[in-house]
Amino acid sequence: MTTTIPIDGTHADQFHRDGFTVVPELFTEDEIGIYRRAAQQFVDPRHRTAQVGLIATTDAWEKNETLRELALHPRLGAAAERLAGRPLRVWGGEILAKPPHEPTPSGLHEDMTFSLLDSALTFNAWIALVDVPVQRGAMTFLPGSHRRPGPERADFETVRGDAFATYLIDTWPGLQWNPRITVPVRAGGVTFHHNRTAHEAGPNSTDEIRLAFVVTFTDAGATYRPVPGSDPLPMRAGQPIDPVRYPRVGG
């Protein structure tokens, strides 16, 4: 196993300044092949979400041994902690697949509004399990958007149903003038984005499925914070998240 962590100060600076960064080749071809096959076997096309054209799993990292290994991978965790500059926990790991010729983009949004956490820092590592050129549904980020003024989160009532398509610009109108950076990634590369960073992903106009695995990291002291209409976990608001279910990186 390669133990080098290809992260330097420029990645951390970009992560804090722009709210995202990209690390090509965090996983080798051989490694990513193992995780890709596990994801191909696990993903279930019946779980397509019409709103964003994605097939998304629920708790894949807890249900599949190989995908759990990826979520808890020491090199990924070390890279995440180096970017964050603080101790972290793993909060989840899910497959996000976009079927071939899926015309629906994953619309512009940020993740904090939907987050069940109160934390100093929560962010996603989006791992490309296949090559993801722009036309296969690559991620686009609005650099610096995590530092925007205005409400910390959108009003949850405004993000339901059709309103999801416009809530981001409706809530933070200044973001419509923010530059957008689209990031094609080869298999084994990883994009990291802060949960306040506005982002989207395009449609998949290719003949191949776009397979990604997203690991969510949160600071070690995060507490549970249900959102209106969504209180799915056996915890009280304000309670530290379960240290066994959500293990410390490197723990």
Ligand X SMILES: O=C(O)CCC(=O)C(=O)O
> Which residues of this chain interact with ligand X, rule CB under 6 A?
54, 96, 98, 106, 111, 124, 126, 137, 199, 201, 212, 214
Smallest distance from ligand X to CB 1, Å: 26
* Contact between residue 249 and residue 89 where contact means Cβ atoms under 8 Å apart: yes
Q: Residue 100 is encoded by which pair of tokens?
A: 């071939």
Tell the smallest beta-carbon distance from residue 97 to ligand X (Å). Answer: 8
Report in angstroms how near the CB of residue 199 gets to ligand X at its nearest: 6
Pick between residue 54 and residue 159 the one whose CB is nearest to ligand X: 54
Question: What is the closest distance, in whole angstroms, from the C-beta atom of residue 202 to ligand X in the complex?
Answer: 8
DSSP string, 153-214: S--GGGGSGGGGGTHHHHH-GGGGGS--EEE-B-TT-EEEEETTS-EEE--B-SSS-EEEEE
Beta carbon nearer to ligand X, 198 or 249:
198
- Cβ–Cβ contacts within 10 Å for residue 232, how many? 9
Containing H/E element for 125? strand 122-128
User: Which residues are within 8 A (CB) of 48 and not within 5 positions of it... i.e. 6 or more apart?
Assistant: 54, 55, 99
Element (H, E) at 96: strand 88-98
Q: Which is nearer to ligand X, 214 or 249 (CB)?
A: 214
Q: Which is nearer to ligand X, 77 or 137 (CB)?
A: 137
Q: Which is nearer to ligand X, 57 or 124 (CB)?
A: 124
